[in-house]
Each structure stands twice: as structure tokens, then as C-alpha cells.
């Protein structure tokens, strides 16, 4: 899929800013690509967050649309991102968003206005893109903002109910603690194909892949950031560039 005809304009590039760089910060998890043969994890399910199932089809659509959205920028930077890396990050972020949504519902709150401002900004940056690509950028780059906005809303409510001083820092920390508690208390399943887990309320890489790494290349695929030499050695179908 090609990007819009305006991609050559400096104004369009400026509006789109550093989308891929933002994604790297959001998706700082393991590179993957190993299968789950021999496991009982239901096919087609990337994550199950207390009954809210995130399908691998949804993940793959988002990753494909996102890759199309940032391809021009990656080519300008000479960067390559393995699709396995993006898939793992997207699964982790979608699972975290699902947990935050359920936490917000449990406490009867909406995310703070900070999230709306981030979405508005992202829509402005991506207004020259097709709608599916724009939605993918918002879903991925806006995911952390959504979680943080829910944490602020939940934290503010709890501190107020407890008669404690509130404010952005205190509310954010209280909400983060509450989300961590929620994750610990509920049934969260992440498909081991993606090599990630939740730890202290954060998505982290974990050596859960069931295939045995053989040689330097296989070992490199488990690093916490996309090694460029490894990424550029991948077939075109396995990389975003």
C-alpha cells in the first residue's frame, strides 16, 4: 500500500513527526518469531485479559497498517523494524489497554482529558494518511497515553475517597499501583509466541518462546531492541522498512 501523494511535501513530513521513534519507545519488548507448537493456547488468540480476547488477526491488521503508515519515515532514516518486534509490542499494549479499560469501568471513571489531547495531536499528524493507517497510529502510539490517563483518573478518585492529598504525581502513582493490583488479581493470559509478560504493571520481554535458539542469529532475535544488522537480514515479508 502506498502513502498519500502529498508525502513529498515538507509540511506533511513535519505533521507526521517522529511516529516510528515514538513507537520504538512504546514497543520496547522482545523480538519474536518462534511458534507455539505443543502448547494449549487457543489458536488465533494473542491475549486473553480476564475474558477480553485479543485476536492475532487484529494484531496483524494493526501491525500491517502501522508499518504502511511509517514506511516512508523508516526509509528516510534507513531503519528496519522486524514485524515480530512490532507484533509483540502491539499485543502487550493492547492487553494493557484492555486491563485499563476494565479498571476504569470497575471504578466508574473515564480517562482524563490528557488522552483526548494526544489523540487530537496524532490525528493532526496523520491527517494525510488513509483512515486505517491513521487508526493504527492512534491505537499504537496513543496506547500508553490512554493507560496513563486512566491511572490518573482512578488514582484521583481513590485519593479523594481516602481523604489524601491529590495531584498529577500522586494520582498517577496511586492509579499505577491500582492497575498493578488489578493485573495481579485477574486472569491474564499472553500467548507465549510473543515472548512478553506483565511485571509490576509493565509489559516486559520474557524468555517464553518454546523454540530453542540456535546460533547468533536466533539469539539476537530475543534482544530487547531491534538490532539493525539482524533486522536487515530478515526477508522482506518479516520486516517493516
Average pLDDT over residues 171-176: 96
Handedness of CA 170, 166, 163, 104 (dihedral sign): negative
Asked whether residue 126 carries a pLDDT value surpassing 80, the answer given is yes
pLDDT of residue 205: 82
Query: Does the residue 142 lie in any domain?
Result: yes
Pairing of strands 188-190, 81-82: unpaired
Query: Does the residue 176 lie in any domain?
Result: yes
Query: Does the residue 4 lie in any domain?
Result: no
Residue 234 sits in a domain whose CATH number is 1.10.4030
Domain of 76 in residue numbering reads as 9-240
Query: Does the residue 99 lie in any domain?
Result: yes
pLDDT of residue 214: 34
Q: How far apart are CA 45 and CA 29, in angstroms?
A: 19
Which of 48, 105, 88 minimizes the C-alpha distance to 193?
88
For the chain, the domain total comes to 1
Asked whether residue 15 carries a pLDDT value surpassing 60, the answer given is no
Which of 229, 64, 39 minimizes the C-alpha distance to 137?
64
Asked whether residue 218 carries a pLDDT value surpassing 80, the answer given is no
Query: Does the residue 59 lie in any domain?
Result: yes
DSSP secondary structure code for residue 2 in this structure:
P
pLDDT in tens, 65-102: 999 998 888 888 888 888 888 899 999 999 999 999 99
Q: Which residue has the higher pLDDT, 3 or 54?
A: 54
Query: Does the residue 1 lie in any domain?
Result: no
Long-range contacts of 156-164 (CB under 8 A, 24+ apart): 157/107, 157/108, 157/109, 158/107
Q: Is residue 35 classed as helix, strand or coil in its secondary structure?
A: coil
Q: How far apart are CA 144 and CA 22, in angstroms?
A: 11
Specify the pTM. Answer: 0.78
Query: Does the residue 19 lie in any domain?
Result: yes
Query: Does the residue 211 lie in any domain?
Result: yes
Cell numbers for 15, please give them.
505533521
Amino acid at each position: 500500500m502506498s502513502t498519500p501523494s502529498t508525502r513529498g511535501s515538507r509540511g506533511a513530513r513535519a505533521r507526521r513527526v517522529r511516529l516510528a521513534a515514538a513507537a520504538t519507545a512504546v514497543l520496547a519488548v522482545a523480538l519474536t518469531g518462534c511458534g507455539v507448537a505443543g502448547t494449549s493456547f487457543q489458536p488465533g488468540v494473542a491475549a486473553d485479559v480476564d475474558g477480553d480476547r485479543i485476536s492475532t488477526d487484529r494484531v496483524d491488521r494493526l501491525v500491517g497498517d502501522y508499518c504502511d503508515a511509517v514506511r516512508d519515515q523508516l526509509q528516510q532514516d534507513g531503519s528496519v523494524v522486524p514485524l515480530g518486534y512490532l507484533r509483540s509490542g502491539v499485543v502487550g499494549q493492547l492487553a494493557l489497554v484492555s486491563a485499563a479499560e476494565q479498571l476504569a469501568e470497575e471504578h466508574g471513571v473515564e480517562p482524563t482529558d490528557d488522552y483526548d489531547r494526544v489523540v487530537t495531536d496524532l490525528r493532526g499528524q496523520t491527517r494525510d494518511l488513509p483512515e486505517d493507517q491513521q487508526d493504527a497510529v492512534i491505537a499504537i502510539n496513543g496506547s500508553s497515553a490512554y493507560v496513563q490517563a486512566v491511572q490518573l483518573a482512578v488514582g484521583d478518585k481513590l485519593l479523594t475517597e481516602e481523604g489524601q492529598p491529590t495531584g498529577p504525581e500522586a494520582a498517577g502513582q496511586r492509579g499505577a499501583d491500582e492497575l498493578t493490583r488489578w493485573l495481579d488479581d485477574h486472569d491474564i493470559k499472553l500467548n507465549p509466541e510473543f515472548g512478553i509478560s506483565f511485571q509490576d504493571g509493565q509489559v516486559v520481554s520474557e524468555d517464553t518462546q518454546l523454540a530453542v535458539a540456535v546460533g547468533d542469529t536466533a539469539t539476537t532475535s530475543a534482544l530487547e531492541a531491534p538490532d539493525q544488522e539482524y533486522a536487515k537480514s530478515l526477508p522482506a515479508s518479516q520486516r517493516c522498512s
